[in-house]
Amino acid sequence: MDNLKERVTIYEVAKASGVSLATVSRVINNSSTVKEETKKKVMSVIKKLGYKPSGLAQALATNKTTNIGVIIPSANYVYISNMLNGITEVCKNRGFSVSLYTTAHSREDASVCLERVIKSHVDGVIVFDDELNDEDLEIFSNYSVPVLAINNSINGEKNGSIAFGYEHLFKKIIQDYFIKGDKDITFLHVHNAGRLLRRIENVFIKTSLEADKEYNIMNCDDSYTRTYHDFMEIFKQKRKMYVIAYRDSIAAAVLNAATDSGLSTPDDVEVLSIIGTKYSSIIRPQISAMHIDMQEVGRRAVYMLIDLIEDRLFERQYKFESVYVKRDSTKY
């Protein structure tokens, strides 16, 4: 047991196989032609010594890390981990490794996070954190790090973006409900849940005003338990509601509270989830929700980013349109 086994370097391989380190380098990179004989010899020495090139030194020499950074607010949400899975899948196939950075909704945090990404020399960054603004992201342009922004606008030569089409569909759902529905609509406002929610909230307000309808905005914690308890109270008084929730777990809190208060869905209480996941159809009653395949978003993001890195991304913008799946939590 060598417990202080030092890393084998290219130099030792060279010495052991009686060639120069340049030749070893050629062998491991399959670059210029090396005589078959020496190649075999070198390879066998590499195997025998268990030599693995240092990614660090390679990166320093080539100015490429084959490492991409992923910035997310938190790894804790289902739709984010779906996306993460798509990202890691493609990265693995394309020979990139993934570095994870979370901002956790804190502004001070964000700048520290960005600094670290710069330091780490990633070849490119996928940003899925709409609390980061253009100014924040500009730092990447300053260090010429390509950025692919998901659900977040960004300008610059070396950047691309993936947009989510929620607003248009959302507006249609609301308008449709104004025509056919029989309840006031309550929008659950979550503090610090990102700009996407705020944008949708604005669409909600605008659409309501245009249709000359009553509407309610209600503050709500981003926690299943708290929301459940809040609605247990609310349902003591209000017995008819159409509630718009940001995510499935919040929607489930409302639905469970309704059921536990003896209300029926969708007759008394209707709930729409904005960001649907697989849990939309697992939870009963099944939740009507808007869906975007986040795993596919993750995959696409990597494809685009790699093209960006290799300077051949021509379509800088990509849009994922959401799909509305009506289930049992709403009438329409």
Partner DNA sequence: TTGTACGCGTTATCAA
Partner DNA sequence: TTGATAACGCGTACAA
Q: Residues in the site for DNA, rule: CB under 7 A? A: 6-7, 9-11, 18-23, 25-26, 28-29, 31-35, 37-39, 51-54, 56-58, 60-63
Examine residue 256 and tell whether it contacts its own copies (CB under 8 A): yes
Choosing among its own copies, DNA, none, which partner's interface includes residue 39 (Cβ < 5 to 8 Å by kind)?
DNA
Distance set, CA 191 to CA 100, 127, 133, 217 (Å)? 24, 21, 17, 12
Give the contact letters, 277-296, x = binds to its own copies (CB under 8 A), - = no: -xx-xxxx----------x-
Q: Are 272 and 64 in contact (CB under 8 A)?
A: no
Q: Are 290 and 241 in contact (CB under 8 A)?
A: no
CB of 11 to DNA, least distance (A): 6
Phi and psi at 67, nearest 5°, equal: -140, 130
As a whole number of angstroms, the distance between CA 269 and CA 240 comes to 6
Choosing among its own copies, DNA, none, which partner's interface includes residue 51 (Cβ < 5 to 8 Å by kind)?
DNA
Examine residue 301 and tell whether it contacts its own copies (CB under 8 A): no
Terminal alpha carbon distance of the chain: 68
| Of residues 20, 13, 4, 97, the one with CA closest to residue 50 | 13
Choosing among DNA, its own copies, none, which partner's interface includes residue 118 (Cβ < 5 to 8 Å by kind)?
its own copies
Which of 21, 98, 203, 217 lies at the binding interface for its own copies (CB under 8 A)?
A: 98
Which of 30, 32, 33, 144 lies at the binding interface for its own copies (CB under 8 A)?
A: 144
| Of residues 293, 253, 258, the one with CA closest to residue 273 | 253
Choosing among its own copies, DNA, none, which partner's interface includes residue 88 (Cβ < 5 to 8 Å by kind)?
its own copies
| Of residues 291, 323, 320, the one with CA closest to residue 172 | 323
Examine residue 101 and tell whether it contacts its own copies (CB under 8 A): yes
Burial of 140 (0-12, 13-18, 19+ CB in 10 A): buried
Q: Which is nearer to DNA, 46 or 147 (CB)?
A: 46
As a whole number of angstroms, the distance between CA 298 and CA 159 comes to 16
The structure tokens listed for 301 are 């993001």
Choosing among its own copies, DNA, none, which partner's interface includes residue 35 (Cβ < 5 to 8 Å by kind)?
DNA
Choosing among its own copies, DNA, none, which partner's interface includes residue 37 (Cβ < 5 to 8 Å by kind)?
DNA
| Of residues 313, 321, 320, 298, the one with CA closest to residue 160 | 313
CB of 42 to DNA, least distance (A): 9
Question: According to CB under 8 A, which residues from 26 to 65 bind its own copies?
Answer: 50, 52-57, 59-60, 65
Which of 12, 89, 268, 293 lies at the binding interface for its own copies (CB under 8 A)?
A: 89
Residue 130 CB partners (closer than 8 Å, separation 6+): 151, 152, 194, 195, 196
- Residue 260 CB neighbours (<10 A): 12
Examine residue 252 and tell whether it contacts its own copies (CB under 8 A): yes
What residue ranges bind its own copies (CB under 8 A)? 1, 3-7, 50, 52-57, 59-60, 65, 67, 74-78, 80-82, 84-85, 88-89, 92, 97-102, 104, 109, 113, 115-116, 118-121, 141-144, 156-158, 224, 249, 252-253, 256, 259, 278-279, 281-284, 295
